[in-house]
Amino acid sequence: MAAAAAGAGSGPWAAQEKQFPPALLSFFIYNPRFGPREGQENKILFYHPNEVEKNEKIRNVGLCEAIVQFTRTFSPSKPAKSLHTQKNRQFFNEPEENFWMVMVVRNPIIEKQSKDGKPVIEYQEEELLDKVYSSVLRQCYSMYKLFNGTFLKAMEDGGVKLLKERLEKFFHRYLQTLHLQSCDLLDIFGGISFFPLDKMTYLKIQSFINRMEESLNIVKYTAFLYNDQLIWSGLEQDDMRILYKYLTTSLFPRHIEPELAGRDSPIRAEMPGNLQHYGRFLTGPLNLNDPDAKCRFPKIFVNTDDTYEELHLIVYKAMSAAVCFMIDASVHPTLDFCRRLDSIVGPQLTVLASDICEQFNINKRMSGSEKEPQFKFIYFNHMNLAEKSTVHMRKTPSVSLTSVHPDLMKILGDINSDFTRVDEDEEIIVKAMSDYWVVGKKSDRRELYVILNQKNANLIEVNEEVKKLCATQFNNIFFLD
């Protein structure tokens, strides 16, 4: 009980309350065109939890179908996106024509102790933000598509059977990684954190990538990351956005532990004449010296709107620098290829990684930004998806931790919803509880959210503070005061 309360912030009644965060109730995918004549269950392509009784599944799907149909009469182009009820919220998404994805989330609950000692359950109907969870649902599709291609492609390749298999295989695991309690503004943005870098080091990286693509001539696209932040993407923006999400929330966190444990082990001194380096594969073969090592790489699907390319994803890392080589799926990388890649890329990437680290430290020292500023902010640019947050701590595989109260995060989400409603630039200043001020600014497709904690500050002072922040942090972009 104490643990649950501590996680949710501590009010004066914390001891008497139990809080339950939002949770996934069900998640299903259906296509109304499939079998309205014969059994209704043919419409259902995937249903979680699977244990639910068949009739209930059919009932739930039917209900969603009806709601969408019904709301379509009012707004033919924009049918309902979500349905609010006391206990839960349902989110609808039609990522491909007639394919519907539905996610049902239970509202957060507060369990209070009444005077007679009986527990009273209270659903917090207004806590969840539609935009946040709609984005989560859309992300589910994008992630599926990245690793499996479109629903339609699966239908073409192997009919409903194959599609069902793929959905089952993918979502069975993926849904376990949805952490609905920690979703927030950043899920709406789905942004990319870029690694700040000076021009010269950036050009060196460019040069490295071009050389690698030339010597490993089967590489089609390359992406380069440092410290889980993007530096270069040869993929188009939308594909990179979801790949970035996968790398930073799934693949990289999974490899953090072994990396920390064996700092010195990756040096392979057993290969004579080989330069010592820290390079290793995050996908593909674990041990290059094992002649039976499997060279299987995850497949990804990109540019699904036009060229529809299927690629192998090779992720190779040396120290904090990670490079993704994407090669056409028709080419099967052999162990020899992997060894060659390791011998060419490994030493150079190791040197480059230490160059970047050194340069980054020099730049940090010069700008003197080591001191924590007095305020927290989230910045997002719709044009390049650049995202920057001093609110969020480092992401772990399970949850993204924020350093501010959830109520403040909710205010940020509300401001964002306001911004979506109009096209013009605007600015919203909110006085939150205690000493907090929350400021939202939108200027030419950029959004900035600032949380200030200043005792007895007035509106004018807050405005001045934000101006100062813009002048120091964003002086090299056109951001209206």
Partner 1 sequence: MGEEDYYLELCERPVQFEKANPVNCVFFDEANKQVFAVRSGGATGVVVKGPDDRNPISFRMDDKGEVKCIKFSLENKILAVQRTSKTVDFCNFIPDNSQLEYTQECKTKNANILGFCWTSSTEIVFITDQGIEFYQVLPEKRSLKLLKSHNLNVNWYMYCPESAVILLSTTVLENVLQPFHFRAGTMSKLPKFEIELPAAPKSTKPSLSERDIAMATIYGQLYVLFLRHHSRTSNSTGAEVVLYHLPREGACKKMHILKLNRTGKFALNVVDNLVVVHHQDTETSVIFDIKLRGEFDGSVTFHHPVLPARSIQPYQIPITGPAAVTSQSPVPCKLYSSSWIVFQPDIIISASQGYLWNLQVKLEPIVNLLPDKGRLMDFLLQRKECKMVILSVCSQMLSESDRASLPVIATVFDKLNHEYKKYLDAEQSYAMAVEAGQSRSSPLLKRPVRTQAVLDQSDVYTHVLSAFVEKKMPHKFVIAVLMEYIRSLNQFQIAVQHYLHELVIKTLVQHNLFYMLHQFLQYHVLSDSKPLACLLLSLESFYPPAHQLSLDMLKRLSTANDEIVEVLLSKHQVLAALRFIRGIGGHDNISARKFLDAAKQTEDNMLFYTIFRFFEQRNQRLRGSPNFTPGEHCEEHVAFFKQIFGDQALMRPTTF
Which residues are at the interface with partner 1 (CB under 8 A)? 194, 197, 199-200, 202-204, 206-207, 210-211, 213-215, 232-234, 236-237, 381, 383-384, 386, 425, 443-446, 476-478, 480-481
- As measured in angstroms, the least distance from the Cβ of 73 to partner 1 is 34
Which CB atom, from 130 or from 425, has the smaller least distance to partner 1? 425
Furthest-apart CA atoms within the chain: distance in Å: 79
CB 342 within 8 A of CB 266: no
Pairing of strands 376-381, 386-389: antiparallel
Which CB atom, from 143 or from 212, has the smaller least distance to partner 1? 212
- As measured in angstroms, the least distance from the Cβ of 302 to partner 1 is 12
CB 90 within 8 A of CB 64: yes
Three-state DSSP class for 326? strand
Burial class for 147, CB neighbours closer than 10 Å (0-12, 13-18, 19+): middle
CB 284 within 8 A of CB 314: yes
- As measured in angstroms, the least distance from the Cβ of 424 to partner 1 is 8
**Helices 151-174 and 130-148: crossing angle, nearest 10°?**
110
Q: Which two tokens stand for residue 291?
A: 């002649």
Which CB atom, from 404 or from 470, has the smaller least distance to partner 1? 470
Rounded Cα–Cα distance for residues 170 and 156 (Å): 18
Q: Which residues are within 8 A (CB) of 432 and not within 5 positions of it... i.e. 6 or more apart?
A: 407, 408, 411, 438
Three-state DSSP class for 198? coil
- As measured in angstroms, the least distance from the Cβ of 343 to partner 1 is 15
Query: End-to-end distance of the chain based on CA atoms, in angstroms?
Result: 47
At residue 456, φ and ψ (nearest 5 deg) are 60, 25
- As measured in angstroms, the least distance from the Cβ of 304 to partner 1 is 16
Rounded Cα–Cα distance for residues 132 and 155 (Å): 30
Bridge partners (DSSP) listed for residue 194: 230
3-state secondary structure string, 277-304?
CCCEECCCCCCCCCCCCCCCCCEEEECC
- As measured in angstroms, the least distance from the Cβ of 272 to partner 1 is 24
Rounded Cα–Cα distance for residues 81 and 105 (Å): 13
Rounded Cα–Cα distance for residues 402 and 400 (Å): 7
Which CB atom, from 221 or from 437, has the smaller least distance to partner 1? 221
Rounded Cα–Cα distance for residues 59 and 56 (Å): 5
Which CB atom, from 245 or from 442, has the smaller least distance to partner 1? 442
- As measured in angstroms, the least distance from the Cβ of 287 to partner 1 is 30
Written as one letter, the residue type at 7 is: G
What proportions of the chain, in percent to the nearest 5, are helix, strand and coil? 40, 25, 35
Pick from 419, 189, 147: which is nearest to 298 by CA?
A: 147
Rounded Cα–Cα distance for residues 460 and 463 (Å): 5
Which CB atom, from 164 or from 220, has the smaller least distance to partner 1? 220
Which CB atom, from 259 or from 355, has the smaller least distance to partner 1? 355
Which CB atom, from 192 or from 411, has the smaller least distance to partner 1? 192
- As measured in angstroms, the least distance from the Cβ of 437 to partner 1 is 21
Which CB atom, from 393 or from 480, has the smaller least distance to partner 1? 480
- As measured in angstroms, the least distance from the Cβ of 201 to partner 1 is 9
Which CB atom, from 459 or from 480, has the smaller least distance to partner 1? 480
- As measured in angstroms, the least distance from the Cβ of 155 to partner 1 is 30
Which CB atom, from 418 or from 444, has the smaller least distance to partner 1? 444
